[in-house]
Structure 1
Amino acid sequence: MIRRIGRREFDFSRQVAVMAVVNRTPDSFFDQGATFALDRAVEAAVRAAELGADWIDIGGVPFGRGPDVSVEEEIARVTPVIERVAATSDVVISVDTNRADVARAAIAAGAAVVNDTSGLGDPDMASAIASSDAHIVITHSVGPPRVEKPAARFGDVVGEVREFLVERTERAIAAGVPRDRIIIDPGHDLDKNTLHSLELTRRLGEIADIGLPLLVAVSNKDFVGEAIDREKEQRLAGSLAAMTSCLERGARIVRMHDVEASVDAARMFEATMGWREPARLEHNTHPTRNV
């Protein structure tokens, strides 16, 4: 489970990677365009790295329904951010895209990972990754992004997600992507309702058993809000609880909005597991003085 990703090395048998989110979009799910301006996007990425993020995920088009964005426009949104962050930090950079042409441009600009929320929906995506040194995140979703979908229905959501991820992994390997450059994501809330996402969380070990590094994106999602009846701006505590539940069940990469809180929670999880030494050791370590 040791992976060299970009300019960093991770031991996923005993380490959690915190992925920060930077969306250069005017209609992003959480920040609603706060980092759409180029300088704001770069500042947010650099600040996330300073706060301890291991990874920055840069997106130019949200997954949810909305107006079409051309390939050219998506490239114009993400590549300048990637170039500027890569020039200033060794943080891992991923591009959140489901288009092979955008992936190629992003990799050329310095991205080390393609975070594909369509799970190889573009038939050229696997070959684009195979011809590079980049990693691929294969995510479960149903049908194309950006369009209205019917109500979510699964017979066994965990079984169907697992089957999808195994099949798409095999497809990537057949196209020439080495297995050690593949990461999987069950896609919490992507074409799933709250009960589906909660069951995925409870049974996440069945996805981790596939044997590939497991990424989860649970931050501020609707299943968190609906589970505890909190609006989007009030979901930090629920998001951290969901994140920790996933870590206990085998997730090792977490895509989170609040970097500082998420890094603290991840490092505390590592410490309780015995994977990380305390940052300092002072409490009850001095002998009692006789008075």
Structure 2
Amino acid sequence: MKLIDGPNIMGIINVTPDSFSDHGLYATTEKAIEHADRLIEEGADILDIGGESTRPGSMAVDLEEELRRVIPVVEALSKRNIPLSVDTSKPEVMRAAIRAGASIINDVNALQKPGALEVIAESNVQVCLMHMQGEPRSMQNNPQYADIVNEVRSFLQHRMDIACRAGIGLDRIIIDPGFGFGKTFQHNIELFQHLDQFTKLNVPVLVGLSRKSMLGTITGNDVDNRVHASVAAALLAIDKGAKILRVHDVKATKDAVLVYNTLNGNPIPRN
């Protein structure tokens, strides 16, 4: 999948009953597909489909349930003219999703599970390698770093090197610093302020700040009232070199990006 020149807006589809942001509104196949079509109409460049919540405190989902949630959605949306990403860490789900039409695997565990590297290496899809300290159920229990920026950057560089040795070319790799995944508020702020350290790794950087708790800490708003804060964070991420914006509010972000690019003398075509 070739990314567009401007920032790519990745619309989120949580096929889960316990998502922190949409409260399970799209937990059925039919609702997820309806939501996907709405995001396409709003201007999404990529759709990211997930069947297992990774919010703080979330519990793991077994393999069969994740396949049941995700694969019918991918199969249905593969008929749409839009790249599909699947948010999973399970090699079996990766393989099934690729067969069903996914062109990106978005892995919060950066291909660390046994067999994950091989699944991606044997395919031609892109992969997003994310940093996470710990696991979702416990990652926010007092995360500690000596140097957050260098530690996260070193981890991602290490995973990139391993992926390349496994036969996954750099042109297929995307990285994500993992805002909110085993990081305190101050860790997230420091990572964002040094986002340029990640763009220097010469692969696309994905930023996922949409509706996250750090925006609630800044604004005092609950998760349902963080659209404006999310859009502001997205524009600042573009300024710092982000190539992919993973967002819930596609229309608001798309409009803001169009204005941002046009006023900066770099208009991009509408979808």
TM-score interval w.r.t. the shorter chain?
over 0.9
Structure 1 residue aligned with 2:227: 236
8 A Cα contact 1:271 1:278, kept in partner:
no
Q: Is it true that 1:142 corresponds to 2:128 in the alignment?
A: no
The unaligned stretches of length 5 or more in structure 2 are none
Amino acid aligned to 1:82: V
Q: Is it true that 1:55 corresponds to 2:46 in the alignment?
A: yes
When residues 47 and 174 of structure 1 are mapped into structure 2, their CA distance, relative to the original with a 3 A threshold, is same
* Cα displacement string for residues 32-67 of structure 1 (whole angstroms, at most 9, x for unaligned residues): 100001100000011101111001100000113333
8 A Cα contact 2:48 2:87, kept in partner:
yes
From the CA coordinates, give the structure whose radius of gyration is larger: 1
How big is the alpha-carbon RMSD for the aligned residues of Structure 1 and Structure 2?
1.5
Correspondence for 2:3 among 1, 7, 10:
10
Structure 1 residue aligned with 2:175: 184
Q: Is it true that 1:74 corresponds to 2:66 in the alignment?
A: yes
When residues 19 and 130 of structure 1 are mapped into structure 2, their CA distance, relative to the original with a 3 A threshold, is same
Q: Which SS does the other structure have where 2:3 is aligned?
A: strand
Amino acid aligned to 2:111: L
* Cα displacement string for residues 197-256 of structure 1 (whole angstroms, at most 9, x for unaligned residues): 111111111111111001000000001110121111111111111111111011010000
Cα drift, residue 124 of structure 1: 1.6
Correspondence for 2:120 among 124, 129, 136:
129
> Could you tell me the percent identity over the aligned residues?
37
8 A Cα contact 1:18 1:266, kept in partner:
no
Separation (CA, whole Å) in 2 of partners of 1:38 and 1:192: 32
Separation (CA, whole Å) in 2 of partners of 1:162 and 1:148: 18
Alignment of structure 1 residues 250-261 onto 2, 5 Å? 250-261=241-252
The unaligned stretches of length 5 or more in structure 1 are 280-291
Cα drift, residue 145 of structure 1: 3.5
Structure 2 residue aligned with 1:203: 194
Separation (CA, whole Å) in 2 of partners of 1:56 and 1:244: 19
TM-score between the two structures when normalised by the length of structure 1: 0.89
8 A Cα contact 2:133 2:143, kept in partner:
no
When residues 150 and 278 of structure 1 are mapped into structure 2, their CA distance, relative to the original with a 3 A threshold, is closer
Pick which of 136-145 and 178-187 moved more.
Answer: 136-145
* Cα displacement string for residues 10-40 of structure 1 (whole angstroms, at most 9, x for unaligned residues): 344xx11000000110001101100001100
TM-score between the two structures when normalised by the length of structure 2: 0.95
Cα drift, residue 277 of structure 1: 6.0
Q: Is it true that 1:246 corresponds to 2:264 in the alignment?
A: no
